Amino acid sequence: MNRRYRKTIIAGNWKMHKTPSETRQLIDELKPLISKAKWCEVVLCVPYVDIPIALRALKDSPRIAVGAQNMHHEESGAYTGDVSAAMLKDLGVKYVIIGHSERRAYYHETDTLVSRKVHLALRAGLRPIVCVGETLEQRDQGVTLDLITVQVKAALSGVPVEKLRQIVFAYEPIWAIGTGRTATVEQAGEVGASIRATIRKMYGARAARSVTIQYGGSMTASNAHDLLAQLDVDGGLVGGASLKASSFAAIVQAANQ
């Protein structure tokens, strides 16, 4: 990470875990543990139904923001069961995860859809956390950097430079998500640097150095410090370890050193 140019952001992705009452309980446990985290922003990406209670529980914690895990790719309309960017913004949500590999895999979200969501999120005033990453097969084939370049370019297509800083990228190797198998620091650093190089080619060096690039994939208290020591790993998107106050707080602490 390089705090001189960009924010360090640790985001928890709770996925489909925690009821509203469990949300209140987890946040109450978490707050005192991370109250001293001055050097990084913390985001809790909770299920839609937990958003109101999370916002209420965090009213007195300005450094902990609430994020959503998805949003629809249209502004509004007949999309039963879906949630729009404007609805999230109106509630008080600050971040939204876009293009998580689980959504790409189970809901067939394509790079085109990711791009539409990025534009809508930015227009609504939300900060997108755009997930990119390769399968194990793609890594073995040696196409990781090319594939991620395509994903990054697609997500940024048509995004003006003045909006670029609002976007966070999360490099999430699919083979590392929920598997307990973390990318090596070299792998995370290499892909982070490659994402930044792609942004640099599109927007120039000054704009590129202001973008936060997270790593996600079995990040834990024990590997966070080394991953975050990489120049182009500016935070984490944390799944499993964000579901327990102590393990998430330990990652936040590592980012705060």
Residues within the interface to ligand PEP (CB under 6 A): 13, 172, 177-178, 216-219, 237-241
Nearer to ligand PEP, 152 or 177 (CB): 177
The catalytic site residues sit at 100, 172
Cα distance between residue 199 and residue 134, in whole Å: 18
For ligand PEP, give the closer residue by CB, 219 or 228.
Answer: 219
Please give the structure tokens belonging to residue 211: 């973008």
* Radius of gyration of the chain measured on its C-alpha atoms: 17
CA–CA dist 144, 138 (Å, integer): 6
What gap in Å lies between CA 198 and CA 204, rounded to an integer? 10
The rounded distance, in Å, linking the Cα atoms of 132 and 149 is: 9
Closest approach, Cβ 118 to ligand PEP, in A, equals 17
Instruction: Tell me which residue of 68, 79, 8, 73 sits closest to 44, measured CA to CA.
Output: 68
Question: What residue number has its CB nearest to ligand PEP?
Answer: 239
Least Å distance, CB 75 to ligand PEP, is: 26
Closest CB to ligand PEP among residues 35, 246: 246
Measured from the CB atom, the residue of 124 and 241 that comes closer to ligand PEP is 241
The residue among 8 and 208 lying less far from ligand PEP, judged by its C-beta, is 8
Rounded to whole angstroms, the Cα distance separating 169 from 117 reads 14
168 backbone φψ class: left, alpha, beta (φ>0; ψ -120 to 50)? beta
DSSP string across 97-149: EES-HHHHHHS---HHHHHHHHHHHHHHT-EEEEEE---HHHHHTT-HHHHHH
CA distance 243 to 107: 24
Q: How far is the CB of 77 from ligand PEP (least distance, A)?
A: 28
- Measure the CA–CA gap between 66 and 43, rounded to whole angstroms: 5
Give the nearest distance from C-beta 7 to ligand PEP in angstroms. Answer: 19
Query: Least separation, in Å, of the C-beta of 161 and ligand PEP?
Result: 28
Determine the distance from the C-alpha atom of residue 81 to the mean position of all C-alpha atoms in its chain, rounded to a whole number. 23
Residue 88 or 241: the one with the smaller Cβ distance to ligand PEP is: 241
Q: How far is the CB of 183 from ligand PEP (least distance, A)?
A: 10
